[in-house]
Amino acid sequence: MNVSRFSRPVAVVPPYRKQPAQHEEDDTSVQSESKRRKVRKGTRSCWECKRRKMKCVLSPLNSDVCNACRRRGSKCIGQEFPEDTTDDTAKAHDFPTPATTISAEDATPRSVGGIFASDLAVNALESRNKHGQLSDTLYAALPSQKEIEIICNANRHPFTLPHEVLVLPYTILEQTGMETSRSLAMVPRPNAHPVILARYMLRLAIYLLHLQPNLVGELKGLKETPRALRTRLVDLAHLVTNDHGLLGNAEGLECVMVQSMYEANMGSLRQSWLTNRHAMSIAQLMGIHRPNNRTQVEVIDPSTTKSNTRHMWWRIRFLDCHLSLMLGLPQSGGSDVNSLTSDALFSNDTPMGRLERMHCVIASKISERNESTSNIPDVEVTREIDVELQKTARSLPSKWWLAPSMDVTPEDTLRETQRLFSQVLHYNLLNQLHLPYMLRSTTNRNYEYSRITCVNASRELLSRFIILRSSNRAAYSCRIVDFLALMAAMTLLLAHMDGHRSGADNLLAHQYLSDRAMIERAQENMEKLNRMNSDALSAQSADLLRRMLAIEMQMPGDDPPATTTTTAQVSVQPGETVVADPADKSEETTSVRVHIPYFGIIKIARHGMSKEPARPLIPEQPQDADGAENTSSGPRHATVYPQEGSSDNMNNTTSDDLDGSVPSLLTHRLDSCVADHLMPYEPYPGLAAPGEDWAFQGVDMAFFDSLMRNMEEDGGTNEGLWTNP
């Protein structure tokens, strides 16, 4: 009777595993057969499983490789053969499979919905072939070994790779040391798992981001520029990070986290936020978000993977809290943020590691306050968070808070950079906490504490930005610091403009020149960074600060400046044309109009600041031969129309309106208007546009939204009163 293949058990373990295939095809197979060792009857485990004292179960798909060796990506040699009988050719039979392999119980002949286990085996085999093709594609895209050697040796001193901070706590890194750029010379083998190859590509791309621009001469042997190479590597790595079937393991989660780090350093904060949320979802599916989780996370290659999954979860939460606060986006709905300062990792962490965890908790609390439905931010909550920030600062010795020096040995550079970054985040949290109160009721001293706190925090942040950018000229290294430095410079300038209205009682008058010099120095660093890297964020940040610095403030006894009718215009989308309002007679000596996508227009002048909605564009219509306009053209970006029920015009704000007769600098007088309802507004970038298309990424939108939130609700009363606790 003929037996159909569907009736055959697929998990029958052969009494002996086959010898590696190269010996079957070799002419010396007879000699190889003589090398068989005599083993006890019933011995079927391989050398690797014996060494690890693990149960050895042969795969139903390949009787040469056991399940454990398939997951590890290691050689699978039966004990009937010597350990050294395999060569490089045998690696073809050692292809590591995805984390989801067929278990031993699935190897029995049973039916699932009419499909037998053998069909599952066929599907798994097809998946294996698909992954093999993906591995071939990824490996073929890697630079040659010679090019990799050139890249690794570009720095005179070994460069410490930053990606390990994502997967291991500081305590372990201090004991074992961190990997350097020399480790990138060890390229994964051609038939490595696609996730392993993608991880290598992302690590190499991160390293290329941190190369200083003056190393161009050291990279002449490359076939393509470092920028083109890293872009190509990351684009191909997306084949793995966008495939959910490949990410159910520690290495896959690390790939997504490193991709998010790459995007943040590229200045694409919104894409980084989205990618980090992707990593958060994967981690939650793995169960590592639970403090007492006992789930075993799959590891493809234990020999090259060193990770602490609980630490990886905290790093995901850390980036989510800070990016959400910077972008004004809602933080993750998880309720475990307080556990970050109560688990064993916190108590065993280094002082700086504990500081970072406390910063994460505080950033989460500030976001919760900002997301409150109350018109005015909760004063009591602000007071409590301020006290918590003070306690957090005192958890480290006073000398730790001195500005770091970048004139250190290469081994200490990363540690000092991390210290500087932690200090910058601390001062940014102070700014974020007090920004909603900084410009409220300038005639009311009750908010003086918030104003002074913002000024001091901005000074400290800017001084560290200058230190960093005086030594590190790689624009895509520590990118978040550049965003925060721009906001700190704007905070400091606006505080002085606000203080100027107090006349002789201006508490900041004596610090104006030194603060201005610091902002000018920061602006010069941004210009130099742009010249060396062709960086959009640095270019537009420098231009915005240059125009704001042009707003001279008249001091008591000074002659009034000559008047002019010109208005400086600043736009994050160059080339926009905004309809001028002929009825607007409030243009002052110098004013800056900041066009913020999805927010409106901020007008900053010597006597105050106001917000107005985006005005309709005057489209530049091409003309045909007869001089008639061609109305078929349109903006290249998305055209945004006013939402139903929104107000499209705002009364102009004059200097008289802003000169102390109202309790705040912002006047939000809206008039309903339908005349412009169908007129196109300024073209906006996509909501997740990369940094080269949207330089400020909406950080400026969150900044002005926090600064100007419901200031008119104060009404000049003592509501919201609070002082230094």
Q: Which residue do the tokens 């093709």 mark?
A: 133
Do 232 and 102 belong together in one domain?
no
Range of the domain at 32: 5-132
CB contact at 8 A, 305 and 251: yes
Do 98 and 194 belong together in one domain?
no
Do 251 and 299 belong together in one domain?
yes
Do 205 and 270 belong together in one domain?
yes
Do 177 and 286 belong together in one domain?
yes
Whether residue 328 lies inside any domain: the answer is yes
CB contact at 8 A, 312 and 166: yes
* β-bridge partners, 180: 160
Nearest to 497 by CA among 382, 655, 650: 655
Q: Which residue do the tokens 């430095």 mark?
A: 485
Ramachandran angles phi, psi of 309, nearest 5°: -65, -35
CB contact at 8 A, 598 and 612: no
CA distances from 621 to 198, 391, 580, 617, 624 (A): 47, 60, 18, 11, 10
Whether residue 634 lies inside any domain: the answer is no
Amino acid at 310: R
Give me the pLDDT at residue 621, please: 46
CB contact at 8 A, 255 and 237: yes
Give me the pLDDT at residue 267, please: 95
Do 55 and 163 belong together in one domain?
no
Do 230 and 92 belong together in one domain?
no
Do 149 and 104 belong together in one domain?
no
Last residue of a domain, one of 132, 164, 199: 132
CA distances from 136 to 128, 187, 302, 530 (A): 12, 14, 22, 38
Do 95 and 114 belong together in one domain?
yes
How far is Cα 55 from Cα 62, in angstroms, rounded to an integer? 17
Give, as one character, the DSSP assignment of residue 637: S
How far is Cα 643 from Cα 660, in angstroms, rounded to an integer? 33
Tell me how many domains the chain contains.
2
Instruction: Give 223: exposed, middle or buried? Use CB within 10 Å, 0-12, 13-18, 19+.
Output: exposed
What does the CA dihedral 417, 420, 426, 427 come to, rounded to 10 degrees? -140
Give me the pLDDT at residue 442, please: 56
Last residue of a domain, one of 334, 358, 380: 334
List strand residue ranges (DSSP E) for 46-140, in order.
111-112, 115-116
Lookup: tokens for 361: 């908790």
Do 189 and 244 belong together in one domain?
yes
Nearest to 285 by CA among 259, 305, 313, 304: 313
Whether residue 60 lies inside any domain: the answer is yes
Whether residue 283 lies inside any domain: the answer is yes
Do 65 and 149 belong together in one domain?
no
Do 175 and 72 belong together in one domain?
no
**How are beta strands 683-684 and 638-639 bridged, if at all?**
antiparallel
Whether residue 462 lies inside any domain: the answer is no
pLDDT along the chain (725 residues), means of 10: 38 40 42 58 78 72 68 74 51 39 34 43 55 93 95 82 92 88 92 97 95 86 93 97 95 98 97 97 92 84 91 95 95 71 80 95 93 73 95 96 88 89 98 91 71 96 97 91 97 88 80 95 96 93 92 57 40 34 46 77 74 60 44 37 37 37 34 35 75 90 84 44 35
Ramachandran angles phi, psi of 115, nearest 5°: -110, 125
Give, as one character, the DSSP assignment of residue 120: H
Last residue of a domain, one of 334, 359, 392: 334
